[in-house]
Every structure is written in structure tokens, then in C-alpha cells.
Amino acid sequence: MTLTHLVLWGILLLVPYVKRPVVYLLLLTKSVSSIYFILNSPRGVSLNGIISNIVTVIVAIIFGEILYRTIDGLKKINCQLSQESQKAFAASEAKAAFLANMSHEIRTPLSGIRGITEMMMGSDRSDADHNYLKMIHTSSMSLLDIVNNVLDFSRIESGKEVLHSVPCNIRNVMDQCITPIKLTLLADQVSLESIVDNNVPKVIRTDEMKLRQIVTNLISNAIKFTDYGTISVSLSAHESELTLTVSDTGIGISPEKYDSIFTEFERVQTSYEKYREGTGLGLAITKKNIEQLGGTISVNSEELSGSTFIVTIPFEEASFDECIEKEAISASLSDVKTGIGNHSILIAEDNKVNQVYLKHFLEKEGFDLTIVENGEEAVASFMEKEFGIVLMDIQMPVKSGLQAVQEIREYEQKSIKNKTPILALTASVTNHEQKLFMESGMDGVCPKPVDMKYLLSSIKKHLN
């Protein structure tokens, strides 16, 4: 191959970067100039040289055209893919926004149902009334579980979730997950026993919320699918791995269904079986949570003879001291009551039902309450009177909670006052929303439906 041929083929390297006419013009110019030199060569005209030059430039142009068409095709595919991915992203964002909205709208009335029911359960009632109230409470909590499951699933699916590893007292976590469930079983024909092996360290570092969700979900399923017998929960540790086992004597699962139960919206229903509520999201979320923690889940089961779910999760040991501060916050309700009852609280909440139960519970604790209906009134009241803490709803008429908080913070800065703790009392519970509240000057978030015990311990933490 002569230098001329090499140059002709070399020009093709420009194809990805330079437009067609320029490359073809270069090829032709090089070829014509080579033919010119051949024609004027002192060694005489080489016909072979001329033909080979012409053939090379034609082949190079054909080859160049193939390259251009391939590159154009790839560009088109790339462009289509990027459009599709933008569409998919927009659809996923729209879905997340819709779910967050829907969750907010359902949580607000649910908060009222929960609050008023708990309020009525706390007063003297006949056994029958108490049972009816308990049923309303359980049903509202089931509805909340469904909303949370859908929201959790969408959050995990979007891939935006991040782990929050904290030191956690694993025995307390197990106890706090198991005890409330145990209480609901008193009159049932199912018993729940649990054991935490001595080899499990006192404090481990993990995402506590996820761990709680995993334990609660597996035990709740075991109860849901067991009519008689025993549910056994055990936790043990081996080297740096925890093993959680939840066994039941319930309806069981046939082996060919093992895979499908971990798929979202898959529910295994058999004809002889009574209907059991559910969305088919629990195990899918549990599996994803476990995988995020770097663990595994497997199941051993036979139809009609119970199931055993085995979860392994790697862990890192943490020091007991790291946990003490956190434990102090989650003190018991009776603890919370002592010593903080004389503070005044500003509550900005436009929902009348929520106002009723907040007033009931907080006045019972001895707090002096000022209740306003929107952000503007909240800012005005704040400027008139000293408050120990502010509880601020977010979506309110006239002025939103976020705007009100910003104005309160500006007012504090201007008048060189200490910052008053402000807690968002909100039905907006996605990570993104909570981050926004904290960035706007809030000191904490108490999600709706309000868990009074949690609210009181947050108030205590911030008043201290």
C-alpha cells in the first residue's frame, strides 16, 4: 500500500467528527492530486497507479457512506432512547408526585380518625364501645399501612432512597416491634414467642427504620396467615451477620410459589382459604429493604403446615454510648409528662378535627395552647407572645407553614431573639418533603396521623 492509499484511508478517520462533503472533498482532492503527480511523473505515466487511485477513492467513499449511515442510525437510536428515558423519568416523577399527593390527602382525614378515636378510647366507655373504638383504630391503622406500603414501594422503585445507618439497641427494637403486636393477640388462638440470642451484640449500626419494617412486616404476615398455633421469632448472630427467623404454624405456601410472593402485587390465594387483607407489596418491600442492607431472605414452607422466613443481615457493632442520647428521646409517655407541662405551645393547624384532638391531648399534659388557623395568624401570634415551641402544619390557607416559618426565622434574626423550636406537623411525609422542611428552618417533623407518644417525646426533646 502506498502512502497515498494510507492517506486516503486515513481521511476516513475524520468521519465521526466532520461533515460528509468535507470528507469526500478531501478524498477527491487527495486522489486528484495523486493522479496529477502520476501524470506528470518523470518516470512515466503509471496506468495501474491511476486505476488503483480511482478504485481506492471510490471504495473509500462507499466505506465512508456506510460509516456515515451507521453513525446517523446510532445517533437516531440514541436520541430516541434519550427521549424515551426522559419520558420514563417524567412519568416516574409524575407518579411519585401523584402518590405523595394521594398519601397527603388520605393521611389528613386519617389523622383525624386516629386522634379522635384515641381521645375517646382514653375516656370512660362501656366494654362494647371500647371494642368498637378499637376496631375503628385498627382499621384506620390498616389503611395507613396500605398508604405507607404504596409510598414506600414507589420510593424504593425510584432508586432515590438512601440508607440512614444509626447505632441501635437491637433488643429494644425487637421489643418495640413485638410487644404492640403481642397485645393485639390476647384474645386470639395464636401465641407469639420471641428470643434474642445472647450472642447478639447490645448495639449495632444499621438503618433502624428499615430493620423495624422488616421485623414488623414478617411478624404481621405470620399472624395474618396463621389461624391457630404459635409464631416464633428468633434473632441470633454469627460473626458479623444477624439471622432473623420468623416461623408460623399457618396456611403455608407451596414451593412453586416461593418466588412469586416476593414480587410486587403478587398474592397467593387458594380457593379453600378465607380472604385475608393485603396489597401484595409487603414482601416485595421487605426483600428490597433487606437487599439494601446487604442481606438475603429465603422461605421454607409447605401448604397447610406453616412457613419459616429466614433473613440474614450483615451488621457492624456500635458502642452503647452512641445509643444513649437516642434512647433518651424515645422515653415512655409517663416520662415525657414530667417537667415540661408548663410551656406554652403555638399550634398552626387549619383542620378542625386535628385541632380537637391536639387540644385534648396537649391540654391534658398541662400545656398552655394557642391555636391558629393559618400561617399568617401564626406569624402574628408569634410576634405577640413567647412560646416554648411551635407546631406548624404545612399546607394551610392564606400563608403556608413553610412561608410562616421563614418569616418567623427572619423576625427572630432581626429582633436578636433565640430560635424557638418549630416542628412540622404534616401529612407530607416523603424524604424529599421532609428535607425541604428542615432546610426551611424547621427543627423536626412529626408525621400525620399523629402518634401522640412520638409528638410528646419530640416536644420534650426540643424543650430541653
In whole angstroms, what is the distance from residue 222 CA to residue 228 CA?
11
Among 57, 119, 211, 261, interactor with ligand ADP by CB under 6 A = 261
Residue 278 makes contact with ligand ADP by CB under 6 A: yes
Residue 280 makes contact with ligand ADP by CB under 6 A: yes
Residue 216 is placed in which grid cell? 414488623
Residue 284 makes contact with ligand ADP by CB under 6 A: yes
Shortest gap between Cβ of 173 and ligand ADP (angstroms)?
Answer: 20
Smaller CB distance to ligand ADP: residue 72 or 302? 302
The residue sitting closest to ligand ADP, measured at its beta carbon, is: 278
Q: How far apart are the first and last CA of the chain?
A: 87
Smaller CB distance to ligand ADP: residue 56 or 217? 217
Residue 144 makes contact with ligand ADP by CB under 6 A: no
Site for ligand ADP in 290-309 (CB under 6 A): 307
Shortest gap between Cβ of 211 and ligand ADP (angstroms)?
Answer: 17
Among 64, 167, 282, 449, interactor with ligand ADP by CB under 6 A = 282
Q: Kindly give, in sequence order, each residue whose CB lies less than 8 Å from that of residue 128, ignoring residues fewer than 6 positions away.
A: none
In whole angstroms, what is the distance from residue 125 CA to residue 430 CA?
37
Residue 222 makes contact with ligand ADP by CB under 6 A: yes
For residues 174 and 212, is the Cβ–Cβ distance under 8 A? no
In whole angstroms, what is the distance from residue 118 CA to residue 455 CA?
14
Q: How many chain residues touch ligand ADP (CB under 6 A)?
A: 19
Shortest gap between Cβ of 89 and ligand ADP (angstroms)?
Answer: 27
Candidates 61-69, 94-102, 248-256, 342-350; binding stretch for ligand ADP (CB under 6 A): 248-256
Shortest gap between Cβ of 181 and ligand ADP (angstroms)?
Answer: 13
Among 267, 359, 399, 453, interactor with ligand ADP by CB under 6 A = 267
Shortest gap between Cβ of 177 and ligand ADP (angstroms)?
Answer: 16
Candidates 128-136, 158-166, 250-258, 399-407; binding stretch for ligand ADP (CB under 6 A): 250-258
Shortest gap between Cβ of 288 and ligand ADP (angstroms)?
Answer: 11
Residue 112 makes contact with ligand ADP by CB under 6 A: no
Q: Kindly give, in sequence order, each residue whose CB lies less than 8 Å from that of residue 326, ignoring residues fewer than 6 positions away.
A: 166, 167, 168
Residue 250 makes contact with ligand ADP by CB under 6 A: yes
Binding-residue pattern over the window 345 to 364 for ligand ADP, x denoting contact by CB under 6 A? --------------------
Residue 279 makes contact with ligand ADP by CB under 6 A: yes
Residue 229 makes contact with ligand ADP by CB under 6 A: no
Smaller CB distance to ligand ADP: residue 258 or 454? 258
Residues that bind ligand ADP (CB under 6 A): 221-222, 225, 248, 250-253, 261, 267-268, 278-284, 307
